[in-house]
Structure 1
Amino acid sequence: MDQALDWLIELESADSAQQARFQAWLRADPAHAEAFAQAEAIWNGQVIRDTANALGARTSRRQRLRAWIRPMVAAAVLLGIGYGIDLPLRLQADHLTVAGERQRLQLADGSSVLLNTRSAFSSQIDSQHREARLYEGEAFLDVPEARGLPLEIAAGPLRVSTQGSALSLRYLDGQARVQVQRGAADIHAASGGARLRLAAGDSVSLGPDGLGQRQRLDPARDLAWVQGRLVFDNCPLGQVLDELRRYYPGLIVTASPTLAKVNVTGNYRLDDPLDVVRSLAQVTSASLHELPRLLILN
């Protein structure tokens, strides 16, 4: 998709040599043509046109593409706009949540699970297995003590073995994180064999660069979502908006790199992300354009 977006920009003023390279790229892999078609569909869609009109953009299509096509496409991918439903994920998961939704689950072993927004989760618990998997999103688990097998939880490349604990798991964009509120958990990477034991108050992430350093958990901030809150302290607005996009059933866009770098502090309820965006626009002196399923900060 990154390559498709680059081509979408380059083709705005492509010469014959660039056109030939583009055709060779399309032929190299069927996924290339599919990605380019999806990128074009998103750009030509009503949401993009509404955004350009709301911004009153006088820049060229090429400049607008460079400024905000990537975050727009990222949000569109998240919402399934131009991409359809992630059918394999829906077939695998027992439980799914949409934007702004949370689910409380009770597993067969007595474990309770709070599934956060845009999450997918399944479990298999019987006499031979005590397993769960977070396919994407975020979950908070309260796992009771049990004779025999601990609960084994997979979240992308991260594996967690635990019982008698309370912990949060998050898996988004290839990055997994576990935060232990109570008890302990054994952590290991699915590849590479790195292992770590976490105690209450510990947190660790696993991404493309491997297992990170042990961090201390700040429950009031890091687990605020469990209480339905979003807490941030001196964070760049762009980072806050990235988190809010998971809760809002539409697109949130800012076309200003400067605005995205403005640091903000706040403690907000997550059940009304539109109100949060309005508040953030006010404290940053940004203009906010509200359209159906589309918020634009500028």
Structure 2
Amino acid sequence: SDHRGAGGLCAAESGPRRARYDATRYIIRPRHRVGHQLLEAIPPGASVSAQTGLVPHLAHRPQVHEFPVALEYAEYVALDLWGNLYPLENDVYIRLVKEILADPIWDIEAEGADYRILRRREDGLPQSEVIAVYGPADDPLIELVGYSLAVENAPGGVYTPVEGETVSLRPGQRLRLELYWRARREMGVDYVVFAHLMGDEGMLLGQWDGQPADVPLRDDVWAPLDIQRTSLWHPGDVVRDVRYVTPDATAAAGASGDLLVGLYHPETIERLPMAGATADGVIADGTDGVTLGRFVVAAG
């Protein structure tokens, strides 16, 4: 049940402040409990840059700063997508958070109910392993050098890492992808990334297409950052691409398929061929993107 706390008692007073008091601002809702749970992922002695509304819950720590202060050295960042943005305006907040999420030096330590706890990597960039190479075989453009998958355990719930090769997803349940792209050379096109839930019968059961690092945030107005535009990448640049995909509401329980990832030209929709691909960009197993795992649709 909701709890208004001691502050809610002020709503009963008869003074002039009563008309201006909104007790609903102080209701602890289920998402707030998730946020408090996620804050426990931050070690007691770690330095933190946290949004204004989260600072009181971390105030007992030796080093806590009001986001975005101390981003250059903080060990953790605590974000509440729908919390108080002060001192930032909405568009500035969105741009800054997108830049942080695109920076591979930060790990998503915990996420749920639109809260995110990020941890700075002590060893810098993650170890890379070339998973797929895109572009002409004799002069490739982009490599996929790492990825991780996590699934929302309930609507508005906490994300947990996917274990095994197959993930079970209900319609509406979100699967989070973290894709690490590395530029091989400069290119003149702002390529689009696709993440598709492709059913075994050839039906597209869910998708999220968009520029790299185009994670949806708040009342997001589409305005790509430089980090999202592959035409501005330089050889060796590594960008983390966080995106979410969910089975469509019409996906039948028991349907299964592959999670496919690749890139295509935004105007022609032509997909980038993969190394070892045939001339038309289709690799030997009949797909035109790299398979990052299997999925099965569970009953809603």
Q: TM-score, normalised by structure 2?
A: 0.26
Q: TM-score, normalised by structure 1?
A: 0.26
Which protein has the bigger helix share? Answer: 1
Higher relative contact order (CA 8 A, sep 6+): 2
